[in-house]
Amino acid sequence: MADLNIQIQNKNCQVDDALQSHFKEKLDGLGRVWPKAADEAILRLLCERGRFTAEVTLLSSGMITRAEERADNVRQAFDLAVEKLERQLNRHKEKLQTRQRRQNNRDDVAGTVIHPVDPAPLFGTTPDALTQTTQANGATNADHGVDQEHGDVMVRVKRFALKPMSAEEAALQMDLLGHEFFVFRDAQSNDVSVVYRRHSGGYGLIEPVAD
């Protein structure tokens, strides 16, 4: 991640050279967790009523990882967000490695030799089926969200392109974004579907059916 491109968007807070250097050092450090965790990072920094919010979004060949935290100063908020990103990357790295080991064990039992899929491409060079330039509920540099305030309720409207992926890949992207649901286009049926996090654990899938 040495060549990581970092975009900083700040409102009501100052970002000096020392702080920018700190941002780069911390984000580059995520490469120890996953070498291709990001090609680009977008930092949104905001101060409201004396509290600082840092939203950090990592973009890597269509996959998005995002975390947001609040603190009494901008550096602390950023550091907390990066710590959350590191936990997310570690968790999903372990999941992918476990899935690969299970696949290998099944192949051994069946006496079949295959070439297992390396989980790294999910955070590096992804196939077209994984590419999703603008995700539902995701914050990217292509985000065309429009905020409209109605009394004390903030409504955000987002437009995004749906590209094919499997339900498993959609669940992964949902976790990386830290959301409760994710809208995607099923790679096999081409239907728009939704994966969601169940309160009792695991994931659910909503598929459309004809009337």
* 63-98 residue pLDDT tens: 788 899 999 999 999 999 999 999 888 887 787 777
Q: Which helix (H) or strand (E) holds 25?
A: helix 17-29
Task: State the pLDDT at residue 155.
Answer: 63
CATH class of segment(s) 127-134+154-211 = alpha beta
Mean pLDDT on 10-22: 94
CB-based burial label for 21 (10 Å; 0-12, 13-18, 19+): exposed
Instruction: Give me the residue spans of the domains in the chain.
Output: 1-126, 127-134+154-211
- For residue 128, give the DSSP letter: G
39: tokens are 């090609």
Residue with tokens 């570690």: 90
Task: State the pLDDT at residue 115.
Answer: 38
Q: 52 near 13, Cβ under 8 Å? A: yes
Mean pLDDT on 11-35: 91
104: tokens are 């290998």
The verdict on domain 1-126 having CATH code 3.30.160.100 is yes
Q: Is 153's pLDDT higher than 70?
A: no
